[in-house]
Amino acid sequence: MEKGKNLHDEVVRVAYDLYEKRGKVHGYDLVDWLEAERIVLERHAGEVEREANTIGSAKVRKPSARTRGGALKTAKKSSEGSAAAKTKKGSPRKKT
């Protein structure tokens, strides 16, 4: 959370610097803000990439084919059972 606030504060400072460099001319606030975001993100691109790689390497490995096959069979049985239950219900009987 703190990192996000720091990035936001940095964007604010850069955007204000751009505003001052333009001669404090009004009407370019969005242009300055977007340019400031680009500048700040470029500054921190390496840091963001390292974090992404850390997160990617920490992911759990995919299950083996043997495990996946068992899971598929179980899912198939479950869906077949529910389909059979639906067909057994049929239409309501008429009272005579």
pLDDT in tens, 20-79: 999 999 999 999 999 999 999 999 888 878 888 888 777 655 665 565 555 555 555 555
Task: Identify the pLDDT of residue 26.
Answer: 95
Domain count of the fold of the chain: 1
Residue 13 has pLDDT above 80, yes or no: yes
Whether this model's pTM surpasses 0.75: no
Domain residue limits at 10: 2-69
CB-neighbour burial class of residue 11 (10 A; exposed 0-12, middle 13-18, buried 19+): buried
In a domain, 88, yes or no: no
In a domain, 55, yes or no: yes
In a domain, 31, yes or no: yes
In a domain, 50, yes or no: yes
In a domain, 78, yes or no: no
In a domain, 51, yes or no: yes
In a domain, 87, yes or no: no
In a domain, 95, yes or no: no
Task: Identify the pLDDT of residue 38.
Answer: 96
